[in-house]
Structure 1
């Protein structure tokens, strides 16, 4: 074959791409991309310009409100206090005292009126009593002798052997002897009474609350109470109530008392309402009488619910009622949609909510929840919550 060098180098491959065409294509793609990016940027800028508010200012919050109305609820008041004996009787030494020989009862036992609780060693008083008996016998013998001598003198006076003066003398001797007998008998009765007071007795039937004496202990009339007895075992709760709540409590009102740790509640009645109010705490005391039960322990703490008649009152959810140092309160929305604080007195808490005994008429728009994040005077947008 005959190949020419020059002919081979000038041949063109028709399948190879044209460089100028490729360059133009790349330029068009680049221009199109830049145009699209510019359009996006302008669109975002235009959108921001239209969404920007005409005037800046604080946003007004939207709050859920309810109009509670009024329903029939029990006007109850809750208070706390301490349990104790209604009539606590301290029992001490009524006589001279001495060394305690026996203690016959313990705390928690029931006793009868006059029952012996403890005895004091009567050795000294018993000896004195025996001495008094001997003095009575001696005085009676002297009185009998004086009477015999007087009788003899009266038999001889008619014969002239005894003068009238001797009769008067023997009569006086007889009367003095009889007087000594009465004196000795009175001293004996006194000693017997003192001996009887050595037995420490319960002044009334009741429940022994405290025992503060042991055998061998020396006691006297100046000693502190040896026993504490609850008269008839009747207890009471001294419930402390605020001044405004105490005004609603009446004698005879039923009260439900629940001691701390007890498995059940007990029913009592108000038997006394304090006539005074503590000027410091602004509280008074309502005394609630309770029948004895082993679960009612004097000194314990208990909760009392005072029940009165049913009244028409608003009922709010717990989320709507707030509390601080000034007391319980709610937030209401006035006609200008402004937040206003309203102090309230709460009553019984039930599954339906908290009864509002005073402070609301039931027609107000009350903030349902999130009241802690609001301030009085703040403007809001109320959203009325419909009843379920």
Structure 2
């Protein structure tokens, strides 16, 4: 039997279009699966086939190149940095020596130089001068009495042989002469004492030096209880009283050359350690190294200064500043191990010089130290080291 189809031609067209869309979806799915398979194969080849060495070679080719240096060790002069207070090396307070009185004149001021024995201030001596005049007159009277007594004795001695004068009279005249001589000596002693007292009314410089302070004015009444009127720095010599820790103090000796820079100036002065404190402060655990300095206008007692003290020589590694890193744990460098991996190494920094930073602890000098770019590395990171030869002090 023959049957004629009752399906419209439009329906056949729709069916063909639906089958085309289904075939397109299947092709897209197959393409995605193939892409995923290729990706997995790539990952497996590069990351899971390391036994063949291919993975390591690829990682090495991707590692960053860093410049390293082998610092070695060299003779380094140890420099101790310290701060302290400036003062006069020999400070001399000048006050009233005599009985004092009203100040008539002041001849020097702070900042002046004085010679030993120079009059710095004078005190009114009107009364003392009249006392000296009176004593001079007494000396004259005593001398006249002595001369008269001596003349009487001389005449009497000439009359003894004639019998006009007895031996008793001679003894009496001799005693009179001796008494007059004694009174003369007493008067002279009193006059000399008064003159000495009057000379001490002047305020004089006991030593040559530089006047640091003046605390007296004309018209002021001063006595031995008035305190210090002038303050001198003997010969103008100054010193820096540098505070040092126990370990640093043990490495300093008398005569060590020192560079001193007063705060607020760029001037560097050369001095020498002339005394080292024999005791350590129990609270601060510090001692004092006293550094002698010649006079300089930049040195003001009471001010602060920094010092660079030579503390002997030792062998140590020296690195440029670019090799050092710092964090909350302290200073460190990166070294490259035999496996070309970056390793953190904590170090202790010593003195700083034009040659670089002295490493007092942490390196033996044979390591490959990352010279630059250490801030971009992480511990354990693989790198390609490139050794840089040292030039000069670096």
Instruction: With the length of structure 2 as denominator, give the TM-score of the two structures.
Output: 0.75
Aligned partner of 1:99 in structure 2 is: 102
2:263 is equivalent to residue 260 of structure 1: yes
Aligned partner of 1:130 in structure 2 is: 133
2:194 is equivalent to residue 173 of structure 1: no
Aligned length: 358
Aligned partner of 1:8 in structure 2 is: none
Aligned partner of 1:3 in structure 2 is: none
Gaps of 5+ in 1: 1-16, 55-61
Distance 1:324 1:349 in 2: 25
Aligned partner of 1:203 in structure 2 is: 206
Distance 2:262 2:156 in 1: 84
Kindly indicate whether the alpha-carbon contact (under 8 Å) linking 1:208 and 1:229 is maintained by their aligned counterparts in 2: yes
SS of match in other structure, 2:158: helix
2:307 is equivalent to residue 304 of structure 1: yes
Kindly indicate whether the alpha-carbon contact (under 8 Å) linking 2:334 and 2:374 is maintained by their aligned counterparts in 1: no
Closer, same or farther in 2 for the Cα pair 1:382/1:215, shift >3 Å?
A: farther
2:237 is equivalent to residue 245 of structure 1: no
Q: RMSD across aligned C-alpha pairs, in angstroms?
A: 4.0
**TM-aligned CA deviation for residue 179 of structure 1:** 0.8
2:255 is equivalent to residue 216 of structure 1: no
2:119 is equivalent to residue 108 of structure 1: no
| Cα-to-partner distance string for 1:91-150 (whole Å, 9 max, x where unaligned) | 111111111111111111111111111111112221221222122122222222322332
1:78 to 78, 81, 94: 81
Distance 1:32 1:340 in 2: 58
Give runs of aligned pairs for residues 206-355 of structure 1, distance below 5 A. 206-307=209-310, 311-318=314-321, 320=324, 330=332, 344=348, 346-350=350-354, 352-355=355-358
Distance 1:124 1:110 in 2: 32
**TM-aligned CA deviation for residue 332 of structure 1:** 8.1
Closer, same or farther in 2 for the Cα pair 1:126/1:174, shift >3 Å?
A: same
Distance 2:251 2:197 in 1: 52
**TM-aligned CA deviation for residue 365 of structure 1:** 6.7
**TM-aligned CA deviation for residue 45 of structure 1:** 11
Kindly indicate whether the alpha-carbon contact (under 8 Å) linking 2:209 and 2:232 is maintained by their aligned counterparts in 1: yes
**TM-aligned CA deviation for residue 346 of structure 1:** 0.8
**TM-aligned CA deviation for residue 183 of structure 1:** 0.9
Distance 2:137 2:382 in 1: 102
